[in-house]
Structure 1
Amino acid sequence: MKQMIVHCTQRVTRMALLDNGSLVEYAAERDQQQGLVGSYYKGRVMNVLPGMQAAFVDIGQKKNAFLYVDDVLHPHLERQPEVKPSIETLLQPGQEIVVQVRKEPRGGKGARVTTHYTLPGRWMVYMPFADYVGVSKKISRESERARLKAIGERLRRQEEGIIMRTVSEDEPVEAVEGDLSFLRSQWEMITRRAQESTAPALLHSDLSIVQRFIRDAFNPQQDELMIDSAKAVREAEAFLNDMAPGKYKPVRFYQGQESILAAYGVQEQLHRSFGRKLTLEGGATLIWDETEALTVIDVNTAQYTGGTSLEETVTRTNLLAAEEIGRLIRLRDTGGIIIIDFIDMQREEHRKMVTERLERVISRDRTQTHILGWTHLGLLEMTRKKARHDSAGFAPVICQCCGGTGKVGAWLE
């Protein structure tokens, strides 16, 4: 069973997702600083750079957004030209264009934007110009995949694209059709605002943090939702009623003396999960080092001595580490290239067991993740897409003296 824990203050809303008591996702959002991902803007092309096959677009933010040529071509790969055209033939400085934010601004970089428009609903993702129907890879039954694809083909209009989400499995056609009608009306509103607005202008914002998690990760009939704000409870119930009329468990209003995050063990798990060195059950440890594009995770037996042989001890440690690493990657929203230095195992079947354990855990992650396999040096490579900021509201403060290295430079006398 999953539990959504929501803590609201005047400035920040914090959301934690527990799966059988274990913290698997955490995020926070300032009330006046909602994330940009998913939002639509009418922007103005400022620079076109043929050498980079990209353009910079003013969307009204501090930094101009970055638009790559692949995000200007047709969203359906089969409809794209065999030879990629120059960005100069597609865009000109001063041109006004509707874009959607794919990645948040980060560091000195502006947001990454696209013209491959998507609108996520409860049961599907609507793409106004993609011209195809897809079904989530997590739906394994071929008969159900064929049913959903047939429903999508029957409901969509010319040029429209639809991706059936995992939660659409076994849902009646009426629910899917209602979702599509709502998303079409949203798109019509966006195009109408684009016609009436002058660039740069915000046309449409994504849902709030609580609404996004309800839409994407919440089963209204099975999961529990606890909120410590009466206003937020009313808003959540109104959203649930729109999404699943009369088919959701009542939202619980928490009124305890201690913080709701402390009451449900979230605070303790956060402190335990965001350090550089993490201790696993039995005494094994993980060392977690992150850069902007690369994360390296080192597994050590440390004080763990279980098993009747060295190979058994190592394999048990790696299996335990794989379970925890899968959870932490999702919780910490780690993105980019991830290298895991498991303890060396002699037998191929043990490496396969570790890979399968990690795959099983990350299959619950909604973010696109790929395990690439083992290198010649015995390292496991994987990648994970990342669109939003780090888990806002709970991130270690970098030491001003050592810059986060744990070492302070000094001249030898």
Structure 2
Amino acid sequence: MSSSRGEAMKQMIVHCEPKLTQMALLEEGKLVEFAAERSQNHSLVGSFYKGRVVNVLPGMQAAFVDIGHKKNAFLYVDDVLHPNLEKQPKEKPAIESLLRVGQEVIVQVMKEPLGNKGPRVTTHYSLPGRWAVYMPNADYVAVSKKVTKEQERSRLKMLGEEIRQGGEGVILRTVSEDEQPEAIAGDLDLLRNQWNLIRKRAESSAAPALLHRDLSIVQRFIRDVFDPHHDELKIDGAKEAKEAELFLEEITHGSHLPVSVYQGHEHIFKAYGVQEQLERDFSRKVILESGGSIVWDQTEALTVVDVNTGKYTGGENLEDTVTRTNLQAAEEIARLIRLKDVGGIIIVDFIDMEQEQHRQEVVDRLEVGMSKDRTKSHVVGWTKLGLLELTRKKVRDDTSMLFTKPCDQCDGTGRINLIGIH
């Protein structure tokens, strides 16, 4: 695979405990993603279940499906219709014409249980591989928007049409850029075989039943963001390192850098500067290099970010000082949203700027930063009150929630940070 895309060299630093795995992703030494997974709480997103419809709600155009968990899964009418919009009826049908109580259906989890809500599921199935995403019933070919060269987009689109069968759908991922057709076709074959196994298990299983579980966090990050020819992977567990090595063998056919087993006496997060960055970046107040600051506050409905000039007075005039602070804050906010895995509505209170040109520069800087994020996001724009509104797809609880607990001194209005080494 070519690495001529100008991407920064990455390091995956993995800390393993008997019941917890923590993974930090560094780009040129800077922390950009952090994820953790407890062994008893394996992520549900991406997993397939054979479920049974237990309730159909015409007023909500939705159904509840028993997939074997404490809370029933939520299945909205849009997630029952054909995954290709062009093949959907012009008039949206009633949910009761599509599903009935007692009906068994294969569903895939698209959103974790959050708060009092059960998982959200869909029948728009997708199986991500290294170079492609396989959608057994979607009947279209798409190319990642991050592949910008028109000639390469055309090549990948034509290749997708050649290798898909019948009504299958294929998305060519960003890493498929400049990749050999044989590798992409082989990836799709593996995913197609995986889907056939899921269907066979469904035929022989009684609902509710787990049919397929998505990969572990380490395997997901290797599959989605790791360049096996240039990036480094360091793990402080010999068993986990061996498993990662075998997974790399499977997806690269032996063409990759070896996995390093960390054997230092110091904690791996301290040795690679991860712990210091975690403590800084997951604080409520983050100091910018210029001396300005950004303050994070989270509610159940949204996240609010406040930008302050702080000690920074380095511009030629007030407007210049404010704009420089806001531009630096925009870059940092984009990184921290990705790092903290913040989802839902996000409101940013930048320092007031008088010139429209400067306001647009701040939006552009934020959009460039968020374009590096694999999770779908959208900068909505400025509100009438001068706040910048954006949204980011919420798939799981924010990472920080796994490592905080309610403060017993303020009845839960604050949280005690436990992230990193403990």
TM-score, structure 1 normalization: 0.96
- Matched residue of 2:403: which SS? coil
The answer for unaligned runs of 5 or more in structure 2 is: 1-8, 416-422
Matched, 1:64 2:72: yes
- Matched residue of 1:51: which SS? helix
Deviations 1:4-50 (A, max 9, x none): 00001111111000111111111111123211000000000000000
Matched, 1:193 2:206: no
Q: Please say if residues 44 and 109 of structure 2, whose CA atoms lie closer than 8 Å, have aligned partners that are also in contact.
A: yes
Deviations 1:274-323 (A, max 9, x none): 12222111221111111233111110111111111001100110011011
Q: Please say if residues 131 and 172 of structure 2, whose CA atoms lie closer than 8 Å, have aligned partners that are also in contact.
A: yes
- Matched residue of 2:361: which SS? helix
1:77 aligned to which of 50, 60, 85: 85
2:410 aligned to which of 397, 402, 405: 402
Q: Could you tell me how far apart the structure 1 residues matched to 2:47 and 2:78 are? A: 19
Q: Could you tell me how far apart the structure 2 residues matched to 1:141 and 1:378 are? A: 36
Q: Who is 1:342 aligned against?
A: 350
Cα separation, partners in 2 of 1:167 and 1:403, compared to 1, 3 Å? farther
- Matched to 2:21, the amino acid is T
- Matched to 2:171, the amino acid is I
Q: Could you tell me how far apart the structure 2 residues matched to 1:59 and 1:226 are? A: 36
Alignment of 1:90-239 (within 5 A): 90-239=98-247
Question: How much does 1:385 deviate?
Answer: 0.5
Question: How much does 1:139 deviate?
Answer: 0.8
Question: How much does 1:347 deviate?
Answer: 1.1
- Matched residue of 2:399: which SS? coil
1:266 aligned to which of 256, 259, 274: 274
Q: Could you tell me how far apart the structure 2 residues matched to 1:381 and 1:164 are? A: 30
Question: How much does 1:172 deviate?
Answer: 1.0
Give the alignment's Cα RMSD to 1 decimal.
Answer: 1.3
1:252 aligned to which of 253, 260, 279: 260
Moved more, 384-393 or 3-12: 384-393
The answer for unaligned runs of 5 or more in structure 1 is: 408-413
Q: Could you tell me how far apart the structure 2 residues matched to 1:62 and 1:241 are? A: 37
- Matched to 1:211, the amino acid is Q
Q: Could you tell me how far apart the structure 1 residues matched to 2:268 and 2:283 are? A: 22
Q: Please say if residues 56 and 62 of structure 2, whose CA atoms lie closer than 8 Å, have aligned partners that are also in contact.
A: yes
* Count of residue pairs the alignment pairs up: 407
Q: Could you tell me how far apart the structure 2 residues matched to 1:88 and 1:129 are? A: 22
Q: Please say if residues 33 and 339 of structure 2, whose CA atoms lie closer than 8 Å, have aligned partners that are also in contact.
A: yes
Moved more, 48-57 or 27-36: 27-36
Q: Please say if residues 36 and 399 of structure 2, whose CA atoms lie closer than 8 Å, have aligned partners that are also in contact.
A: yes
Q: Please say if residues 282 and 400 of structure 2, whose CA atoms lie closer than 8 Å, have aligned partners that are also in contact.
A: no
Question: How much does 1:273 deviate?
Answer: 1.1
Question: How much does 1:353 deviate?
Answer: 1.4
1:300 aligned to which of 301, 308, 311: 308
Moved more, 286-295 or 66-75: 286-295
Question: How much does 1:405 deviate?
Answer: 3.8
Q: Who is 2:6 aligned against?
A: none
Alignment of 1:277-356 (within 5 A): 277-356=285-364
Instruction: State the identity %.
Output: 66
- Matched residue of 1:401: which SS? coil
Q: Who is 1:242 aligned against?
A: 250
